């Protein structure tokens, strides 16, 4: 979808440029310059959107793994307490990963 939107945007910029400079000998350089200027304008905001989406997905996946790790640590602590016949004390450390 992003590729299609970018193609449409850049082709539109080129068509506008070429229509304004019909018959000009420097059309190739002008086209390169127009696309070069359009790229940061188009992809700058898109980078923020993709970054936000990626961060949300990674955070969701990481939260799942953190919960599983905390469960495993609790099970290990309880098993160790049972094996060594000592009281099991829950961890009071704050969650550092999230």
Section 35-61 average pLDDT: 92
| pLDDT higher than 60, residue 69 | yes
How far apart (Å, rounded) are the C-alpha atoms in residues 71 and 63? Answer: 12
Cα Rg, the chain, nearest whole Å = 28
Domain assignments of the chain as residue spans, ordered by start: 2-84
18-42 pLDDT, tens per residue?
777 666 667 778 888 888 988 999 9
Catalogue the long-range contacts made by 45-53 (C-beta closer than 8 Å, 24 or more residues apart).
Answer: 46/2
């Amino acid at each position: 979808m992003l590729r299609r939107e970018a193609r449409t945007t850049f082709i539109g910029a080129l068509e506008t440029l070429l229509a304004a400079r019909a018959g000009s000998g420097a059309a190739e350089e002008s086209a390169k310059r127009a696309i070069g200027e359009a790229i940061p304008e188009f992809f700058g905001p898109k980078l923020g959107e993709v970054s936000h989406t990626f961060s949300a997905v990674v955070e969701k996946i990481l939260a799942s793994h953190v919960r599983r790790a905390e469960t495993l640590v609790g099970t290990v602590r309880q098993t160790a307490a049972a094996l060594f016949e000592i009281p099991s004390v829950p961890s009071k450390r704050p969650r550092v990963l999230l």
